Structure 1
Amino acid sequence: MTATCTRQDDRLIFAGTLDRAAVATLWPQLQPAIAGTRHFDLTAVTRVDSAGLALLAELAALAGGVHVHGRPAGLDELRTAYRLQDDLSFAA
Structure 2
Amino acid sequence: MRPASVQRNGPALVFAGELDRAAAQHLWPATLRALDGAQRLVLTDVPRVDSAGLALLVATAARLRAAGMGAVAIEGAPAGLAELCAAYRLTPTLDYVPAS
TM-score (norm: length of structure 1): 0.96
Which structure carries more strand by proportion? 1
Q: Distance in 1 between matches of 2:88 and 2:33?
A: 26
What corresponds to 2:68 in structure 1? none
User: What amino acid is aligned across from residue 31 of structure 1 in structure 2?
Assistant: L
Q: Is the 8 A contact 2:11 2:37 kept in 1?
A: yes
Of 71, 81, 87, the match for 1:75: 81
Which structure carries more helix by proportion? 2
* Deviations 1:34-53 (CA, angstroms, capped at 9, x unpaired): 12111111000010000000
Q: Is the 8 A contact 1:18 1:49 kept in 2?
A: yes
Q: Is the 8 A contact 2:7 2:34 kept in 1?
A: no
| 4+ runs deviating over 2 angstroms | none
Question: Unaligned 5+ residue runs, structure 2?
Answer: 66-70
Measured on the aligned residues, the alpha-carbon RMSD in Å equals: 0.8
Question: Unaligned 5+ residue runs, structure 1?
Answer: none
Q: Distance in 1 between matches of 2:24 and 2:50?
A: 10
Q: Is the 8 A contact 2:41 2:72 kept in 1?
A: yes
TM-score (norm: length of structure 2): 0.89
Q: Is the 8 A contact 1:13 1:41 kept in 2?
A: yes
SS at match of 1:87: coil
What corresponds to 2:14 in structure 1? 13
